[in-house]
């Protein structure tokens, strides 16, 4: 029987000492980002992804251990616990196995078997089931006729005994395990359905696929179709094979008793075992599908949040619309709101000329360098106006102006939120969406953390996934992204701060209140003056918060305050002054480190090699943003219409979403094209995420254009 540490070490292919260190730190209240970044010596450099998976698995195994203890205690209290049963429970690897063993001892609701037992028919059932009786069962059953107990005839007595035997067979853990394995291996999912209206489930109206081959996204689609009462779903199996197996286990070679056992076997399978196992298998498939969908969503969300920000340019946010007009917001390069307007370039007004006049005034007045155009309603029509604006601005002033189409998913949710009202109390709700669209280009991470991740518009079937499970997973992704990038303590909103390691919503609010009451933070250590932010919270959050205004140069790096002494000793050893960090005068640092040797230097400075490596990387480039190393969004000046697309055309596009079956690519025609998984590469692709991620700039070739259905098929294959 392995303990939890041994098991985790085996599953994650790491040392037991690494597992023990991680468990100890998690139990002390350390966060995953903190452990991943600042405790590399103790973890052996485990990544935040591995640490999060290990943390989730630890919770599962601890819950499994607690359930085993509870089951053993319950059986012991009934006086039915044997040493063999106790060992069997401890050996279980899953909750399902534990529940199988517990089933015979579980307090049952009133069933046909419990009612028959109340009528005194259990001895008759046992008499038949042990197969040693040589007389007539009919004669034996006569003794159990009792009008007062509700047994009026021989037939009723035998039926009651068969009900009890059915439940005994159903409760046998070994049988259930064998049948479950068979259904997983040989079961077929069958769906049927119909509708008078077109539905997304038409391919499932007469559909069959093996349980062990059906992909996760199809499971979620089938579940949704069933929930909407359009599809009927069942798992079929060769029942004769199961009956043959059960008969071989239950028959005693006694012709007189076996015929009654055979009745119970058939009844047990049809009424008790199979419906239960079918539910279990479907539940397992759903869980696997949900985990798969969550993994896709996590990867998409991370890629979206980590998109490279566009810095140093004033941005015009353009939120398209029809009847109520297109909302405009202009932000300076720091994200400060400069101006707002509404133009009516689309139907029903179609005032293109008047709109262009207003837009040009804003562009010239605020030296706008880029337009961030929302991709929602009226985006196609607005894109034509923006393309015209770019041409006219270049003709009139020789000014280069670009635009990028950004996802506006969740912008309306943000606009009406309490947070938006606090940020822009004097700005109309409808204009706040344009501000969000502009800021998504300037700093996707800082803006998107204000929105519930489920509303961001990446992922597959996210609305069919257990909300709690999805929320916890996505919160982890946002947390990792925020802490990876780091946060400017003096401009961060409460929503951004709440994702910083060790900072909860209350502390985030207290930090902002302190900043409002006392002015900008002048150092990291000033955080300790914030209400309820004690030494433990400081330890967890300090390294992820940047203070650009601090006299201490290291406050604008991800070097943790606990390592400041080591960092300063390093500078002294190599002949640098602290001022050299701010001035960027550490260009030769790698050569100097190599001359001494990294390990020798770490020993002298009494720090670990991983920590020293991180310190060197940070002081070389203080305030480094890891997102700057990623490709920038495609800046556009003109548009392409779907009618202009022809098979064979080569285009450059941006990956907007990734699903199990392929990737959706924005090629600038308002309708994203699909690169099916089979078209992602000339090599075999196991999953699209192995090849592309959200935000990637890719070259695609048009395969097929279906204008009627507004569908575009693309390929990334070279053949």
**pLDDT tens track for 425-441:** 999 999 999 999 999 99
Res 458 pLDDT > 80 = no
In the prediction, which pLDDT does 584 show?
Answer: 83
pLDDT more than 70, % of the chain: 97
Q: Compute the average pLDDT of residues 503-522.
A: 95
Q: pTM to 2 decimals?
A: 0.81
Helix (H, G, I), strand (E, B) or coil at 311: coil
Residue range 112-297 forms a domain whose CATH class is mainly alpha
Beta pairing partners, 339: 330
Q: Compute the average pLDDT of residues 70-78.
A: 95
In the prediction, which pLDDT does 621 show?
Answer: 84
The yes/no answer on whether domain 4-105 falls in CATH 2.40.50.180 is: no
Contacts 24+ apart (CB under 8 A), 123-130: 124/157, 124/158, 124/160, 124/161, 125/160, 125/161, 125/162, 125/164, 125/165, 125/168, 127/161, 128/161, 128/165, 128/257, 128/260, 128/261, 129/165, 129/168, 129/250, 129/257, 129/261, 130/252
Sequence-ordered list of residues with C-beta below 8 angstroms from that of 151, at least 6 positions apart, any chain:
119, 120, 121, 144, 145, 157, 160
**pLDDT tens track for 516-533:** 999 999 999 999 999 999
In the prediction, which pLDDT does 254 show?
Answer: 94
Banded model confidence at residue 668, pLDDT cuts 50, 70, 90 = confident
Residue range 486-550 forms a domain whose CATH class is mainly alpha
In the prediction, which pLDDT does 687 show?
Answer: 93
Banded model confidence at residue 636, pLDDT cuts 50, 70, 90 = low
In the prediction, which pLDDT does 639 show?
Answer: 57
Of 229-233, 240-244, 351-355, 579-583, where does mean pLDDT reach its minimum? 579-583
**pLDDT tens track for 587-620:** 889 999 999 999 999 999 999 999 999 999 999 8
Res 630 pLDDT > 70 = no
- CATH code, 314-442: 3.30.420.140
More confident residue, 196 or 191: 191
Banded model confidence at residue 1, pLDDT cuts 50, 70, 90 = very low
* Beta carbons of 669 and 642 less than 8 angstroms apart: yes
Res 422 pLDDT > 90 = no
Q: Compute the average pLDDT of residues 170-192.
A: 97
Banded model confidence at residue 118, pLDDT cuts 50, 70, 90 = very high
Same fold, 314-442 and 642-715: no
Res 346 pLDDT > 80 = yes
Question: What is the CATH T-level fold of the domain 642-715, as seen in this structure?
Answer: OB fold (Dihydrolipoamide Acetyltransferase, E2P) (2.40.50)
Break the chain into its structural domains and give their ranges: 4-105, 112-297, 314-442, 486-550, 556-627, 642-715
Distances (CA, A) of 81 to 64, 89, 176: 19, 11, 21
d(CA 489, CA 515): 9
Banded model confidence at residue 474, pLDDT cuts 50, 70, 90 = confident
More confident residue, 581 or 23: 23
More confident residue, 465 or 552: 552
Q: 63-89 in b/e burial notation, b at 16+ Cβ within 10 A?
A: ebeebbeebbeebeeeeebeeebeeeb
User: Any alpha helices (H) in 268-399, and if so which ranges?
Assistant: 274-305, 352-366, 379-397
Average pLDDT, the chain: 92
Q: Compute the average pLDDT of residues 406-431.
A: 88
More confident residue, 398 or 463: 398
In the prediction, which pLDDT does 2 show?
Answer: 65
DSSP codes, 540-564 = HHGGGEE-TT-SSGGGGSS--GGGH
d(CA 554, CA 619): 7
d(CA 551, CA 549): 7
| Both structure tokens of 186 | 């040989």
In the prediction, which pLDDT does 191 show?
Answer: 97
**pLDDT tens track for 209-236:** 999 999 988 999 999 999 999 999 999 9
């Amino acid at each position: 029987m392995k303990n939890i540490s041994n098991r985790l070490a085996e599953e994650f292919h790491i040392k037991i000492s690494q597992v023990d260190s991680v468990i100890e730190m998690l139990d002390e209240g350390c966060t995953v980002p903190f452990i991943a970044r600042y405790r590399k010596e103790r973890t052996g450099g485990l990544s935040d992804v591995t640490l999060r998976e290990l943390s989730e698995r630890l919770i599962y195994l601890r819950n499994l251990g607690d359930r085993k203890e509870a089951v053993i205690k319950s059986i012991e209290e009934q006086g039915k616990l044997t040493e063999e049963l106790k060992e069997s429970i401890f050996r279980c690897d899953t909750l399902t196995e534990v529940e199988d063993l517990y089933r015979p001892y579980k307090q049952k609701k009133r069933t046909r078997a419990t009612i028959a037992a109340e009528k005194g028919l259990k001895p008759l059932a046992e008499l038949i089931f042990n197969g040693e009786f040589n007389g007539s069962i009919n004669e034996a059953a006569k003794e159990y006729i009792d009008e007062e107990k509700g047994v009026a005839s021989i037939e009723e007595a035998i039926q009651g005994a068969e009900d009890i035997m059915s439940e005994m067979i159903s409760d046998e853990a070994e049988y259930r395990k064998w049948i479950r394995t068979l259904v997983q291996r040989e079961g077929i999912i069958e769906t049927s359905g119909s509708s008078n209206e077109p539905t997304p489930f038409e391919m499932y109206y007469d559909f069959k696929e093996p349980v062990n081959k059906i992909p996760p996204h199809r499971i979620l689609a089938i579940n949704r179709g069933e929930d909407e009462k359009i599809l009927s779903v069942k798992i079929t199996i060769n029942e004769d094979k199961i009956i043959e197996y059960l008969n071989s286990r239950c028959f005693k070679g006694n012709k007189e008793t076996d015929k009654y056992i055979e009745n119970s076997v058939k009844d047990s399978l049809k009424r008790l075992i199979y419906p239960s196992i079918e539910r279990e298998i479907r539940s397992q498939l759903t869980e696997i599908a949900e985990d798969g969908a969550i993994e896709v969503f996590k990867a998409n969300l991370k890629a979206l949040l980590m998109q490279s920000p566009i810095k140093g340019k004033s941005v015009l946010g353009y939120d398209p619309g029809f009847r109520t007009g297109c909302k405009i917001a202009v932000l300076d390069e720091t994200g400060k709101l400069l101006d707002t307007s509404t133009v009516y370039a689309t139907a029903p007004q179609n005032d293109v000329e008047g709109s262009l006049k207003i837009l040009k005034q804003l562009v010239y007045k605020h030296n706008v360098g880029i337009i961030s155009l929302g991709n929602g309603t009226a985006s196609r029509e607005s894109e034509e106006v923006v393309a015209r604006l770019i041409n006219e601005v270049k003709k009139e002033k020789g000014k280069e102006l670009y635009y990028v189409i950004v996802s506006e998913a969740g912008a309306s949710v943000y606009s009406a939120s309490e947070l938006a009202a606090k940020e822009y109390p004097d700005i109309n709700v409808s204009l706040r969406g344009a501000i969000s669209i502009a800021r998504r280009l300037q700093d996707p991470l800082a803006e998107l953390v204000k929105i519930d991740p489920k509303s961001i518009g990446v992922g597959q079937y996210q609305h069919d996934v257990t909300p709690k499970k999805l929320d916890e997973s996505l919160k982890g992704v946002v947390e990792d992204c925020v802490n990876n990038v780091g946060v400017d303590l003096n401009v961060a909103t409460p929503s951004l701060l709440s994702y910083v390691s060790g900072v909860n919503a209350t502390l985030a609010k207290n930090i902002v209140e302190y900043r409002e009451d006392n002015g900008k933070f002048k150092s990291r250590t000033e955080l300790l003056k914030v209400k309820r932010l004690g030494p433990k919270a400081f330890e967890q959050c300090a390294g992820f918060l940047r203070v650009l205004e601090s006299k201490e140069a290291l406050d604008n790096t991800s070097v943790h305050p606990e390592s400041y002494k080591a960092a300063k000793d390093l500078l002294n050893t190599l002949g640098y002054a602290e001022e050299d960090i701010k001035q960027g005068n550490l260009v030769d640092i790698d050569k100097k480190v190599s001359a001494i040797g990294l390990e020798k230097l770490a020993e002298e400075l009494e720090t670990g090699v991983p920590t020293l490596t991180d310190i060197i990387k940070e002081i070389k480039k203080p305030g480094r943003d890891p997102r700057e190393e990623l490709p920038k969004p495609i800046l556009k000046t003109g548009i392409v219409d779907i009618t202009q697309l022809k098979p064979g055309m080569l285009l450059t596009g941006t990956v907007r979403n990734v699903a199990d079956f392929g990737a959706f690519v924005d090629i600038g025609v308002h309708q994203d094209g699909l690169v099916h998984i089979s078209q992602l590469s000339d090599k075999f692709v196991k999953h699209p995420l192995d090849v592309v991620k959200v935000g990637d700039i890719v070259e695609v070739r048009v395969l097929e254009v279906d204008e009627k259905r507004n569908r575009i098929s693309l390929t990334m294959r070279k053949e």
